[in-house]
Structure 1
Amino acid sequence: MKDITSRYLLSLPEGMDTDDEKAKEVKGLTVVTAAVFIVGEIAGSGVLALPSAVEGAGWIGIVMLFLCCFISTYTGDVLGTAWCIIQERYEQYRGHIRYPYPAIGEITYGKPGRPIAVGAALATGTACIILTTNMVVDKKNVPEVVHDAPGFVSFFTAFGTICFAFGGHPAFPTFQTDMKDHKQFGKAVFLAYMIVLAMYIPVSVAGYYVYGRDTQANILQTVSPGPMLVTVQILVTLHLFCGFIIIINPFSQEVEEIFKIPHHFGWKRCLLRTAIVALVLFGAETVPKFGAILALVGGSTISILAFICPPLFYLKLAKMEGDWEKIDVPLHKRVALYEIVLVGLVAGVASTYSAFAGLLSPGAFTVPCYVNLTAASGS
């Protein structure tokens, strides 16, 4: 256990203890500020693909939005409970932990700044309001709305996109660790997801009923041009500037750990993080298929991290024996958790297959911009 612990514990300032009394003296996030962090991490570019996802799934896509939201809320709370259990059982995890989510996984199955979060959340919220207004205004210029009948591929592609829009669980334990009272994390998750749902529903419903089959994978390519569209584009860009820092930081820290790069500021850290951002940019320019990429990530990675892992972590911790009080999970709760795992597994596989089918379909790929630049320079 000491070897595992050494991989995740941060270096604490000299003289700082990790016991409960010292932890209480450290200022942390409240329920509201933790919720703001969660909203800033979750709500972003995914909202732009939701109208197209709802169109692909049919009106049932609106129901899927609510279901994914509430399931994600529940599994987020379950993940928070699992982290609290670990902190109660293992004293070495009561301080500042560098990688909480991987630590939970390894224990169970073996081997930020406030202006940034507030800016990301406010930018997305304002963008959703303006975008919805723009679509409502467009309604009078759309004489007839036609909807395509959903098929297997379109339905599960929509599921993957919706999962992506509600993903964010890997960062949850980090936010929970920074709270004043870790056990209040469930309230922060619930508040955050209600805010996110309030952003998503108007945009999704308006897009579905105003544009129908004409809805593009990115709703910004569908709405009429004008000042409102420009404002939304600016706000979404602002969110990406703010939210990208929150999202990319845990992954960057994990890569730094692999390459044994010091945690303090230095040229190695700058070089590595620059390379990571360059790879992200290269991937975006190489595969610019917006909707299919979101569906692929949502159906594979997000469904595993949000729907499958949290229930399994919690159930495994409940079964583990040691010098601690035994956790008795009621039958109805076990059944609910296993049902979530099963739904996440089946739907995740189906949506991943659908996303691949969409990516491999004729005409799915467009020539990357750097290929055009190379051809132009060669001619």
Structure 2
Amino acid sequence: MEAKQEHKHVTDGYSFEQDFDAEKAVDHDSSGHGHERNGSSFGAYFNIVCVIAGTGTLQLPESLKEGGWVAIACILLAAAIAVFTGNLLIRCLYYKDGERLSSYPEIGLVSFGKAGKYIISVLNYSICLGGSCVYISIAGNSVYDLATHINVNVSAAVWVIIAAVLVCLPFVLVKSMKEVAILAIFGAVATLVVVIVVMVVGLMDYPANASNTHNVVVWGSLPAAMGNICFSFGGNVVYPHVESAMKNPQSWAKVLVFAVLTILGMYLCIAVVGYHVYGHLATTPIYDNLPKGPTTTVAILMLVAHVILAAPIMLTSFALEVEEAYGITVQRLGKAREFMIRGAFRALTVFILTFPAIFLPVGKLMSLIGSFSNSLMIFVLPIVCYWRLFGIRSMNYASLAFSVICILVGILACICGTKDAIAGIVKVFTDPESAKGMH
């Protein structure tokens, strides 16, 4: 596979079919280590859906409240960018003939040296760890809200700790992305149940909320809404690990398209219905707007199941990179010692995440991670790394124009959304009464 042929392949029709033998069972990364490719495309699809879909179902109705109906266009744009840059990212893994880079930070290394690797590593880990922290907090606080309605007097902090333990168990026991695919299937189904329940119960609740107001566009808070939407499509951090487990990696582009379209369908349903029904009163999480009852309880429990199942997938992506970097492998340490060290490291990771999960405001934390880290990791860095490795001329004019749009949108969401999120977090600690509801 020569470089010139590869560049022409990308430009003509902008296809992302991989130029390597998909039937090989073992793929070698740039460090010389081999790993088995025995995961199915079906499992990869569910891994993507499970990791990405849950957060949007929670907060996109409020994103429409912040940005107005025009934020629907932002959701569509973010989905298109997620497919476009997700494919560029995987292309970058195979930029060198006969080798596959192992991770997003390695792409940063070969693109911009050690500075590129460190910057991407920090952003990458902030998404994996920050997103998982948000999931643990959502699960714990959601169960706390349910428990208070049936007079179970257990503090929110205790429920968050219980949620952390439930996340920790599969994270410690399950080693690779292929093995967490079964968690992803249940997580994706749980998310679908949440969408259906919110739509049905919300529409039934519309007569009581018909007077709620709506905006076509709110220019002042639209960039912050875009930051939240960025968080809702934050899957780039796990894509290299999901693709590395696929037995047929040439199917990556199709798997990614189908997964993002599935997520987009669920997002549009819950965002449009949630904002249409609750308008200026839409909150995060959206189920707080729903009338209390058995169906709402089912939705909350399904959402709790989703985030508890999705967090180990994000954490596994982080852990695999750290464990590879520090040689925590069976080949080097033996089965028993490898399991003990890996288990201790992963348990410590969850333990550390539990503290911010208890004390930080989830809504603004989601906005901060989405605005700063995800906007750069999804919208900007895959493109600039691709340009660095393959050259700007490897793209046709349409792809180049769309790349510029992606970068501009990403920078705008990063700056404006980050500023709004930090202001919101500061407000929680300086004026707790006025900031109620942000958790």
Cα shift readout 1:117-156 (whole Å, capped 9, x = no counterpart): 2111111112111121111111122241123686555322
In the aligned structure 1, how far is the partner of 2:359 from the partner of 2:220?
A: 23
Structure 2 unaligned segments of length 5 or more: list them.
1-19, 27-35, 115-176, 434-439
* Length, aligned pairs only: 335
Shift of 1:196: 0.2
2:346 counterpart of 1:273? yes
- Aligned pairs for 1:47-62 within 5 A: 47-62=57-72
- Secondary structure, aligned partner of 1:85: coil
- 1:293-326 superposed Cα distances (whole Å, 9 cap, x missing partner): 1111001110111111111121111139xxxxxx
Deviates more, 1:180-189 or 1:131-140: 180-189
C-alpha contact (below 8 Å) 2:22/2:250 kept by paired residues: no
Is residue 2:357 matched to residue 1:284?
Answer: yes
- Secondary structure (helix, strand or coil) at the match of 1:225 reads coil
1:373 aligns with none
Task: Give the TM-score normalised by structure 1.
Answer: 0.80
Per-residue CA shift, 1:224-258, capped at 9, x if unaligned? Answer: 11111111111111112211111111223344456
Matching of residue 250 in structure 1 with residue 317 in structure 2: yes
CA drift at 1:272: 2.3
2:369 maps to: 297
Helix, strand or coil: the match of 1:146?
coil
CA distance in 1, matches of 2:302, 2:22: 42
CA distance in 2, matches of 1:149, 1:198: 21
Equivalent-residue separation in structure 2 for 1:222 and 1:106 (angstroms) = 46
Residue in 2 that maps onto 1:100? 103
What TM-score comes out, normalization by structure 2 length?
Answer: 0.70
**Which residue of the other structure, out of 233, 254, 273, is the alignment partner of 2:300?**
233
Quickly say closer, same or farther: Cα 1:32–1:258, change in 2 above 3 A: closer
Residue aligning to 2:404: 338
Alignment of 1:1-379 (within 5 A): 20=21, 23-24=24-25, 28-86=38-96, 89=97, 91-93=98-100, 99-111=102-114, 112=177, 113=179, 114-147=181-214, 151=218, 154-256=221-323, 261=328, 265-287=338-360, 289-319=361-391, 328-361=394-427, 366=432
SS of 1:28 mapped into structure 2: coil
Give, in angstroms, the shift of residue 201 of structure 1. 0.8
Aligned-residue offset at 1:182: 2.1
Is the alpha carbon distance of 1:251 and 1:153 closer, same or farther for their aligned partners in structure 2, counting shifts above 3 Å? Answer: farther
User: Which deviates the most, 335-344 or 147-156?
Assistant: 147-156
| Cα displacement (A) at 1:80 | 2.1
Contact 1:69 1:166 in 2 (8 A): yes
Distance 1:54 1:133 in 2: 19
CA separation of 1:242/1:58 partners in 2, compared to 1, >3 Å: closer, same or farther? same
For the 8 Å contact 2:61–2:271, the answer to whether it is kept is yes
Letter in 2 for 1:35: Y
Cα deviation digits, residues 177-219 of structure 1 (max 9, x gap): 2223323211111100000011111111111111111112211
d(CA) in 2 for partners of 1:180, 1:255 = 24
Q: 1:262 & 1:187 partners in 2: Cα distance?
A: 32
Aligned residues: percent identity? 26
Letter in 2 for 1:293: L
Deviation at 1:59, TM superposition (A): 0.7
Unaligned segments of structure 1, at least 5 residues:
1-18, 321-326, 368-379
Alignment partners' CA distance in 1, 2:400 and 2:231: 25
RMSD of Structure 2 on Structure 1 (CA): 2.6
Q: Is the 8 A contact 1:31 1:179 kept in 2?
A: yes
1:365–1:50 CA distance, 2 compared to 1 (3 A):
farther
CA distance in 1 between counterparts of 2:245 and 2:228 reads 30
